[in-house]
A = this chain, B = another copy of it.
Amino acid sequence: MPDWEDLRHFVVLAREGTLSAAARLLGVDHATVARRVAALESDTGLKLVDRRARSYQLTDDGRRIAATAMPMEEAAFAVGRAVQAAKPGLRGEVSISSPPSLANALIAPQLFRLRRRHPGIQIKLIGEKRTASLNRREADVALRLSRPSEPGLIARKIGSFGFSLYGAAAYLKQTPRHALAFIAYDDSMDDAPQQKWLKAIAAGNEIVLRTSDLENQAAAARTGVGLAVLPHFLGDPDPQLTRYETTPTPPSREVWLVVHRDLRQAPLVRAVMEFLTDCIKAK
């Protein structure tokens, strides 16, 4: 039976493609990954990778072995979840994955409540566009803007929010309707409903700024660059921004609270889920 640690390193290498990336992910030196893969090759008597100049290329055998070792990794994640779920009481770390806008505007400002109520809980708040995989234990709970379909996950809709166009009051006053400029996401967000809506509404007008960051869009809109589609929870409290009403109104989005089945009973996780629900409900 091959060394399980060797397999772990090899699986990550197979997924990441390079020694360095695998090493970063595993938190070890790249030399260690290289040596462990070599050890696995010598153990199994199979050539698993072609060592090319700048990249490790899996051989057919390598792909085959990596594929059969994947279920091991999934089982390992299940062990990790079982460990997390077995932790009694309300002490420990919980990681939350959330879209950056929600994290900044609704979660972070409320964290002090959670700490007051459960002083033993440490939060790791991951505000990333990329949806972290709960199955891979990249986070314990997540907020998502649409219902996820991954197996093993449990999702509950805990709220929704609307969008409007916002701009600086002076800008709206001075600019004739046909000359209004727009601020949009970059292409990577082309499939988001609010972006589609904007593209439709802005058909004839100029899109003067594209940025992937919502905070940037708001900042630009505040200074009179143009109109941005912002969620109400971001635009309404801002004294420098004014809604610009349109028909049709922009789409609204749902907020889903997602957790893995294995973790939903853990007291630590339940407390955080309750907190997140309050954050969204009370916005």
Provide the bound-state CA to CA distance between A248 and B122, in Å.
Answer: 77
Contacts of A87 in B (CB 8 A): 45-46
A68–B84 CA distance with the chains assembled, in angstroms: 13
Q: What residue in chain B is nearest A61 (Cβ atoms)?
A: B86
* Residue in B closest to A77 when the chains form the complex, CB atoms: B1
Query: Are A83 and B65 in contact (CB-based, < 8 A)?
Result: yes
Copies of this chain: 2
Contact: B45 with A2, CB < 8 Å? no
Contact across chains for A65 and B80 when beta carbons are under 8 A apart: no
Interface residues on A, range: 20 to 34
Residues on the B chain within 8 Å of A21, using CB: none
Contact, CB under 8 Å: A7 / B44: no
A4 partner, pick from B4, B45, B83, B86, beta carbons under 8 A: B4
Question: Does A207 make an interface contact (CB < 8 A)?
Answer: no
Question: Does A154 sit within 8 A of B, measured CB to CB?
Answer: no
Query: Is A137 on the interface with B (CB-CB < 8 A)?
Result: yes
| Contact, CB under 8 Å: A8 / B4 | yes
Q: Mark A85-102, 1 if CB is under 8 A from B, else 0.
A: 011000000000000000
Smallest beta-carbon distance A263→chain B, Å: 13
Is there a chain B Cβ closer than 8 Å to A117's Cβ? Answer: no
Q: A2-B83, A68-B79, A68-B82 are in contact. List 9 more A-B contacts (CB 8 A).
A: A1-B80, A3-B5, A44-B86, A46-B83, A68-B75, A68-B78, A69-B79, A72-B75, A72-B79
Q: List 24 A-B contacts (CB under 8 A).
A: A1-B77, A1-B80, A2-B79, A2-B83, A3-B5, A4-B4, A4-B7, A4-B76, A7-B79, A44-B83, A45-B83, A45-B87, A46-B83, A46-B86, A46-B87, A64-B82, A65-B83, A68-B79, A68-B81, A69-B75, A72-B72, A72-B75, A72-B76, A75-B75
